[in-house]
Amino acid sequence: MQTRKLGNSGLEVSALGLGCMRMTFGDAPVGSRQDMIDFLHQAVDRGVTFFDTAEVYGPFTNEDLVGEALEPFKGQVVIATKFGFKHGPDGPHPTVGLDSRPEQIKRVAEESLKRLKVDAIDLFYQHRPDPNVPVEDVAGAVKDLIQEGKVKHFGLSESNAEQIRRAHAVQPVAALQSEYSIWWTPIEEEILPTCEELGIGLVPYSPLGRGYLTGKITEKTTYADTDIRARNPRFTPEAIEANQVVVDLLERIGAEKDATPAQIALAWLLAQKPWIVPIPGSRKLERLDENLGSVDIELTAADLNEIKDAMAQISVVGNRY
């Protein structure tokens, strides 16, 4: 497995990480807890060293699963988790609201350390910007945790360029996690150049467009009520049909490379910058192997230009949320 460094942080991880959210959250389960633990072990066996979780996934159950599964590989893998949602009676949930107060950040860190069974959190992201807490205070709280040896690296998620700069001035940001894929590219305008200038790695989530870019979804595909795609504007039958042109493009390039649409979509992301590490979420071995195959696909400048020109002519239908 090839490795990449997330910006100037020195944090080196596998070129493709693994998003673990759906192992216990959303439309889970696809298998038992033991099935998911076995799957995570198989990911490590294949060279994956970068795993993404959050206290809100479950809540708590995802960190608990990842902590148990990866405990035998302590020191060999990098686990990223997140803080930033308010705690209700059942724990943190996006519907309860945001909470990035310094005292809350420190409380979350202590609990995450226990669930993840680690001495220090490798990468601690603010899950979403909190309009009620200056980002300088957020960065300062994580800086304290870093100085105490409880956190190794600071990350942001879905932050804008100004927020990134302000946070970075207090505590260097190792990585920004944001949605980025061949069909969602607004971060290219301001955010990617800011990351490049400041030496911040980018960790794209939903790099396969929540599964759409695999080419396996049709207008007849249905979703369980627990699946976020059941309410997503890009997954109405009309949008699925209208956006088929994106999959057609990926299939056309894939045919030339003996690759699947998903592999081309991931290879496209990897080709954008050497400090980009996508985290597709897999729960099945055949999907994981397919995704990992993207690391060895080389897209030429001509391929990238062809994709860019083709996407410029395509209007993707439906908002991302």
Strand partners for 151: 121
The continuous run of DSSP H or E covering 79 comes out as strand 78-83
Whether residue 280 lies inside any domain: the answer is yes
pLDDT at 231: 84
Strand partners for 98: 85
∠ CA 126-181-244, rounded to 5°: 140
pLDDT at 8: 97
Cα–Cα distance measured from residue 163 to residue 174, given in angstroms and rounded to the nearest whole number = 14
What are the tens digits of pLDDT across the range 208-228?
A: 988 889 988 877 788 787 778
Residue written as token pair 């206290």: 55
Whether residue 320 lies inside any domain: the answer is no
Q: How many domains does one find in the chain?
A: 1
DSSP assignment, residue 320? -
**CA dist 292 → 1, 12, 115 (Å):** 8, 17, 28
**Positions marked catalytic:** 57
User: Domain containing 74: what range?
Assistant: 3-312
Give the contacts of 197 (CB within 8 A, at least 6 positions apart).
none
**Contact yes or no for 135/166 (Cβ under 8 A):** yes
Q: For position 209, which CATH number holds?
A: 3.20.20.100
- Find the farthest-apart pair of alpha carbons in the chain and give their distance in angstroms, rounded: 54
Whether residue 238 lies inside any domain: the answer is yes
Please give the torsion angle defined by the CA atoms of residues 99, 104, 109 and 112, in that order, rounded to the nearest 10 degrees. Answer: -60
Whether residue 321 lies inside any domain: the answer is no
* Per-residue pLDDT of the chain in tens (321 residues, 90 and over written 9): 999 999 999 999 999 999 999 999 888 788 899 999 999 999 999 999 999 999 999 999 999 999 999 999 999 999 999 999 999 888 898 889 999 999 999 999 999 999 999 999 999 999 999 999 999 999 999 999 999 999 999 999 999 999 999 999 999 999 999 999 998 999 999 999 999 999 999 999 999 988 889 988 877 788 787 778 888 888 888 878 878 888 899 999 999 999 999 999 999 999 999 999 999 999 999 999 999 999 999 999 999 999 999 888 878 877 887
Whether residue 38 lies inside any domain: the answer is yes
Whether residue 318 lies inside any domain: the answer is no
Whether residue 14 lies inside any domain: the answer is yes
Cα–Cα distance measured from residue 52 to residue 280, given in angstroms and rounded to the nearest whole number = 10
Whether residue 304 lies inside any domain: the answer is yes
